[in-house]
Structure 1
């Protein structure tokens, strides 16, 4: 079973984290028999966060207590642009995750966090269309426009908000195959 860690913070865009969370949480090998993914939510301190538009979310754990995961997902939102992209504790943690995680991924402006951590140096990446210029400010990032996601192997970035769902299905196919994607999308009534 693959372990997924999703980082949460104040002013995180709700669908940025909830979309991938839903995709991975409802994926089973056999309907309700063998769960394919174990999803953990993580915040800097483990305390409740206030997502975009006031949604209160209680993460499972803190950065200090976070388990090793196969996939780390950094969502975006106003909090990513204004604070998390410059959060030294988060950036240090992400750099350390490179040694243990198979994939570090971002949704929307979460790409700015990855870029500031140096994880996008020399790579193709995408983000929300409204932040292409912000991402391009990191001169060694080759910003891809008008795509849902960009897969650079151990780094995967996705466009804005709902594109995180497409990216989650892409990662699911990478780990578990097309049939898992088909079954999960059908269960969610999601049009691939």
Structure 2
């Protein structure tokens, strides 16, 4: 299995529930399977720890912290210009949600554009979709966002094909609705990217069964 390089782009303040789906990716590690006393044949299917790297990125740069609404500061590993997170270096870019309607600095938007152009798989959670929308990478694509600001999204970003769903996938771009819909989206993403035993063990251990994309009410 090829190394997996994940970047989490933080535009503070964010909600901890928004960023929590990153744990499903972290649970792909071999050490996690070992800690859960899985049989050797299952441990062998997990990703070696050295091949799964998660980097927390923010404009403020390394050795700084990013605020959350739960008053817990998150350690930032890299700035936008760090060579380790340059376009082409990441496989997945996850964007948890900042306050609705907050327009990030242009350097942040340039970072998102460059990564999407390089072919990264982009996953936004809740209001993280605003970051992607302000960057223009959703234009012409199907997307969703939290229902509470559906009108604002439709009015502000008319070139996006907005859908009222828990999660939407259009090519390499995944967007989710409200906060916990990020977990639904990540579960579906796991099953698509790692179909079979690996993803099913992770979801079983986390007791996550994704709800349908359609709300139903």
Q: Report if TM-score (shorter chain) is over 0.5.
A: yes
CA distance in 2, matches of 1:108, 1:155: 14
- Residue pair 2:11, 2:97 contacting (<8 A) in 1 also: no
Q: Distance in 2 between matches of 1:81 and 1:14?
A: 18
- Given that residues 13 and 52 in structure 1 are in contact (C-alpha distance below 8 angstroms), is that contact kept between their aligned partners in structure 2? yes
- Structure 2 match to 1:187: 205
Under a length normalisation based on structure 1, what TM-score does the superposition of the two structures give? 0.88
Q: Which residue of 2 aligns with 1:35?
A: 47
Alignment: residue pair count: 187
Task: Write the mapping of 1:145-164 to structure 2, written as runs, cut at 5 A.
Answer: 145=164, 147-164=165-182
* Structure-2 separation of matches of 1:174 and 1:23: 14
Kindly state the Cα deviation for residue 126 of structure 1 after the two structures are TM-superposed.
Answer: 0.4
Q: How far apart in 2 are the matches of 1:175 and 1:38? A: 17
1:181 deviation in Å? 2.1
Q: Which of 139, 143, 146 pairs up with 1:125?
A: 143
Match of 2:90 in 1: 69
Moved over 4 A (4+): none
Q: After alignment, is 21-30 or 49-58 more displaced?
A: 21-30
Q: Which runs of 5+ in 2 are unaligned?
A: 35-42, 211-217
Contact 2:184 2:209 in 1 (8 A): no
Question: Secondary structure of the equivalent of 2:117?
Answer: coil
Q: Does 1:144 align with 2:146?
A: no
Counterpart of 2:24 in structure 1 is 23
What corresponds to 1:94 in structure 2?
A: 112
Asked whether the 8 Å contact 1:6–1:40 carries over to 2, the reply is yes
Partner SS for 2:124: strand
Structure 2 Cα separation of the partners of residues 9 and 142 of structure 1 = 24
State whether residues 69 and 101 of structure 1, in contact with CA within 8 Å, keep that contact through their aligned partners in structure 2. no
| Aligned-partner Cα distance in 2 for 1:160–1:166 | 10
